[in-house]
Each structure stands twice: as structure tokens, then as C-alpha cells.
Amino acid sequence: MAIKDTPQEWRITGTVIPFEGAKTSVRTDSVVMPDGSVAGRDYQVHPGSVAVLALDDEGSVAVLSQYRHPVRHKLWEIPAGLLDVPGENPLHAAQRELYEEAHIKAGDWRVLTDVYTSPGGSDEAVRIFLARDLSEAEGDRFEVSEEEADMEHARVPLAELVRGALSGELHNNCLVVAALAATAALAGDGLDALRPAEDPWPARPF
């Protein structure tokens, strides 16, 4: 049986925003349940994100480590960032993040997968791209600050990322999802069968 997620919106009788930050906010909706009762649902309102699995000709992935204060860990991740501009083309945002965080450009781009990171508590949607035909970006490296000033960079074989995810050594959501998705694509119809980079994204129209 083929299954797929379907858009649906239950009736909201009221909304309050108890917190509004620079990039995200917290919202409480009063939602009418199927039995007619009304329940409060708190969630983070998020602009959306992009992430990039940059795969080189040797089968290794560009990764970086960054301190993430909420979980008190320095995590290995793939390049990623917020959709800072409403309606921004996610491909352009992904190309920017790959340049800024890894100083890499890519000649071939595909959509690897689209995910909601934590749909019970956030409306964050992430589009994860596959980037290939890699080369060093031109010009000076992007100037970093705050947590990014402590970044480490590496190229790690895709199979090693999968091993680390399954062994509990790697925890970043986008890295784990991307590594498993790329491995599944390679075992299936191949990377060239992935969706084009400009494929529509209903979660964040552009």
C-alpha cells in the first residue's frame, strides 16, 4: 500500500504568542478536536531551513562540528542554515550555506529529501539537498563569529556517517537523515533519479 502525508488544517478558535524572538517565536493555538473539544497546542514558529549533503567523487561527505548549547554537545553536522528571507529560493540558500560554512561550490544539485524536524512541537521544515561535482569556492572564506568561530571541518566517507548514526555516535538530525537517504538512493534508483533542485516545496513555497 502506498502512503503519503496529506495537508489538513483543523479549526483554530484562538491564538496567543507568548514569546517572539529574533528568528523564531512560540505560539499557542486553541484547536478543535474531532470529538468537538478544544485543546491548546504550543509550538515553535520557524522560518524553515536548508541543509546540504556535499558528496565528493571519492564518496566522502563535507561535515563540520559546531557547539549546540541547548543539547550541550559539539555535534558533527552537514552545512545548514535558516531561510532568512521570506519566499527565498531554498536552492540559493543552500548554495550560500555551502559556501559560507564549507567554502565549497557544487556543479550538480538535487533534492535529497524534505522533512519536518519535530512536527509535534515545531513547524520547522527542512529541505536537504545533495550537492556533487564539488570544488573549492573562489575568493576569501566567509568571516565567522560566535559558535561558528570554533568549527572543525572534515571529509568523512558516507558509509562511516551511517555507521556513526546507527551506533549512536552521531546525532544531528539533518546529518543522520541525509546519510541514510543518500545510502538508500544509491541502493535504489541511483542519485541521478533524485528530484531536481528546483522541485516545488509546499511547506515553504518559493
Question: What's the sign of the alpha-carbon dihedral 141, 144, 148, 149?
Answer: positive
Dist CA 13 CA 29 (whole Å): 8
143 in catalytic set: no
Could you tell me if 83 and 48 are in contact, meaning their C-beta atoms sit under 8 angstroms apart?
A: yes
CA dist 151 to 38, 68, 79, 154, 203, Å? 46, 11, 11, 10, 30
Could you tell me if 92 and 84 are in contact, meaning their C-beta atoms sit under 8 angstroms apart?
A: no
Contact partners, residue 44, CB within 8 Å, separation at least 6: 24, 25, 26, 27, 121, 122, 123, 124
- Smallest CA-to-CA distance from 159 within 135, 134, 136, 184 is with 184
| List 100, 136, 147, 148, catalytic entry | 148
Contact partners, residue 175, CB within 8 Å, separation at least 6: 63, 75, 76, 77, 78, 161, 165
Question: What's the sign of the alpha-carbon dihedral 136, 198, 125, 82?
Answer: positive
Where in the sequence numbering do the catalytic residues fall?
148
